[in-house]
Amino acid sequence: MAGNAFTPALGRVGPTRLYDPIVALTRERLWRTLMVMYVAPRAEDVIVDVGCGTGSTELLLNRVEPRARLIGVDPDPNVIAVARRKAEDSGAEVQWKIGMGDALPQVVGSGVADTVVSSLVLHQCRLEMKRAVLASMYSAVRPGGKLVIADYGLQRTRLMRLGFRLVQFADGVEDTRPNAEGVLPRLIAEAGFRDVREAEVVPTLTGSISVYVAFRPE
Ligand SMILES: C[S@@+](CC[C@H](N)C(=O)[O-])C[C@H]1O[C@@H](n2cnc3c(N)ncnc32)[C@H](O)[C@@H]1O
């Protein structure tokens, strides 16, 4: 475990209620839809969303496959309250759990998920927490199951590095820099996942967001 401290959804920039309109400016519809495309939810799949925030991924997953079993995990009760309300309004059935991403075996159990998904979380975490969350994701997903992560990855151009400064202002340089240097694929592989690939790179105003896909070996 790497401690219980976490950066809230908007970092130091603003309150939770502004999260959805602000994240919409990051070409959210594109990267979130691509992420859900790689999740490819099926009926009866158990899908755990780590750092689920305001639950936008759950709404989209539910729209694609209402029979999938969705579990949203986040340490912030305020953001979970927003997620719960949004899901109730849209009729999506989701189990919400308050917990840290490095405690998934305790929060959801080991080997329970067909897919673990997570978006815009790891860039907000200290390096040791990134490792601990990925190890915990590995425990939570069943052998042969899938990991799909959308987050700020390697910032390949000067323009993207410039845009990424907004994220660094919000969430701090120390936590975000390793992402911008492209550390995620290596950390995902070091956690034990195989066939790690950066499947998509979406340029945005705030730097590029990558979608990574990997599998827990059988
Ligand atoms: C930028 S928001 C992203 C929310 C959502 N996944 C999305 O795509 O809109 C980051 C979320 O990660 C949560 N978070 C931060 N550190 C975490 C950790 N160590 N484990 C789990 N969640 C964490 C925050 O509470 C916040 O809700």
Model pLDDT for residues 111-150, shown as the tens digit of each residue: 999 999 999 999 999 999 999 999 999 999 999 999 999 9
- Ligand 1 centroid to Cα of residue 99, in Å, is 11
Residue 110: is its pLDDT beyond 60? yes
Provide the token pair at 68. 């999938």
78-87 pLDDT per residue, tens: 999 999 999 9
Query: Phi, psi at residue 196, to the nearest 5°?
Result: -75, 130
Three-state DSSP at 93 gives: coil
Question: Is any ligand 1 atom within 6 A of the Cβ of residue 28?
Answer: no
- Ligand 1 centroid to Cα of residue 9, in Å, is 6
Span 148-159, average pLDDT: 98
27-39 pLDDT per residue, tens: 999 999 999 999 9
Full-model pTM: 0.97
- Ligand 1 centroid to Cα of residue 119, in Å, is 7
What is d(CA 41, CA 61) in angstroms, rounded to the nearest whole number?
Answer: 7
Residue 1: is its pLDDT beyond 50? no
Q: Which atom of ligand 1 is nearest to the CA of 10?
A: 1
Residue 2: is its pLDDT beyond 70? no
The full set of domains in the chain, from first to last, is: 16-215 (3.40.50.150)
Provide the token pair at 14. 């603003």
Residue 42: is its pLDDT beyond 70? yes
Provide the token pair at 47. 């899908």
Q: Which atom of ligand 1 is nearest to the CA of 76?
A: 25
- Ligand 1 centroid to Cα of residue 45, in Å, is 22
What is d(CA 103, CA 93) in angstroms, rounded to the nearest whole number?
Answer: 23
13 against 37, higher pLDDT: 37
- Closest residue CA from atom 20 of ligand 1: 101
Strands 209-215 and 194-202 turn out to be antiparallel
Question: Is any ligand 1 atom within 6 A of the Cβ of residue 100?
Answer: yes
Residue 45: is its pLDDT beyond 50? yes
* Average pLDDT taken over every residue of the chain: 96
- Ligand 1 centroid to Cα of residue 180, in Å, is 18
Find the radius of gyration of the CA atoms of the chain. Answer: 16
pLDDT (0 to 100) of residue 37? 98
What is d(CA 188, CA 173) in angstroms, rounded to the nearest whole number?
Answer: 21
What is d(CA 137, CA 68) in angstroms, rounded to the nearest whole number?
Answer: 19
Three-state DSSP at 61 gives: helix
Q: Which atom of ligand 1 is nearest to the CA of 56?
A: 9
- Ligand 1 centroid to Cα of residue 194, in Å, is 24
- Closest residue CA from atom 13 of ligand 1: 51
Q: Please check whether residue 8 is in contact with residue 34, taking contact to mean a CB–CB distance below 8 angstroms.
A: no
Span 72-80, average pLDDT: 97
187-201 pLDDT per residue, tens: 999 999 999 999 999
What is d(CA 28, CA 204) in angstroms, rounded to the nearest whole number?
Answer: 9
Residue 5: is its pLDDT beyond 90? no
- Beta-bridged to residue 147, according to DSSP, are 116, 214
